[in-house]
A and B are shown apart, each in its own frame.
Chain A
Amino acid sequence: QVQLQESGPGVVKPSETLSLTCTLSGSFISTHYWSWIRQPPGKGLEWIGCFHSSGRTKCNSSLKSRVTTTVDTSKNQFFLRVTSVTAADTAVYYCARGNREDIFDYWGQGILVTVSS
């Protein structure tokens, strides 16, 4: 049973850095593509970026300068950092798995991150 679980702070101050962890069970980081997707309250989905353990990484061009994705294969975890956050970064953040970079067949439950002072 593949399961993904996001964790991290629920509130981040404006201009600071948002850091999230996705912990994986039932699958291995060394296979598949791993993605971050977000959804502002009441709005649609926005792809943030993805990576493969081979080192192939892709990121939404509108966020690229502020986003970093890293991985700890020993812990079966991967991470998201978004710098210089503003209220526009308030969203439910999901981590997801795919066997291609364009598909998401397993999702975490999501974590709401609010940017507020």
Chain B
Amino acid sequence: QSVLTQPPSASGTPGQRVTISCSGSSSNIGSHYLYWYQQFPGTAPKLLIYSNNQRPSGVPDRFSGSKSGTSASLAISGLRSEDEADYFCAAWDDSLSGVVFGGGTKLTVL
């Protein structure tokens, strides 16, 4: 059971806008930055969004992050087949004094 809650799956068709949610509590998302990681099968995760809504260099602006209270969302617009991957949210947790991850969301492009 992960500390941060994500839907196990999401899907969309090419060109569509998809959102993935991440729910936590006041000890993590509510008081710390939220991060998103993208992982393709057999490869290491890659930082996709940092500090709630910032994109590292090289990440397309089709990816955007937002946070409100104890929840956050990752939005992918103009969905492409190459976006099919697992997406994980993460944040520091004061109660556990460590980083906690969501269980991950498998995005399928139909």
Contact = CB atoms under 8 A, between A and B. Distances in A.
Interface of A: 35, 44-47, 49-50, 58-61, 94, 101-105, 107-110
Contacts of B50: 103, 105
A61 B96 contact: yes
Given A61-B96, A101-B92, A105-B56, A45 B104 contact: yes
B44 A109 contact: yes
Interface in B4-44: 32-33, 35, 37, 43-44
Contacts of A60: 96, 98
A44 B98 CA distance: 16
Given A44-B2, A44-B88, A45-B88, A103 B47 contact: yes
B72 interface: no
Contacts of A101: 92, 99
Interface residues of B, number: 25
A67 to B, nearest CB: 11
19 contacts: A35-B99, A45-B45, A45-B90, A46-B101, A47-B99, A47-B100, A49-B98, A50-B99, A58-B98, A59-B98, A61-B96, A61-B98, A101-B99, A102-B32, A103-B35, A105-B50, A105-B56, A109-B43, A110-B44
A44 to B, nearest CB: 5
Main secondary structure, interface of A, reads: loop
Contacts of A102: 32-33, 35, 90-92, 99
Given A102-B90, A107-B45, A44 B103 contact: yes
Which of A47, A101, A102, A108 counts the most chain B CB atoms within 10 A? A102
Nearest to A60: B98
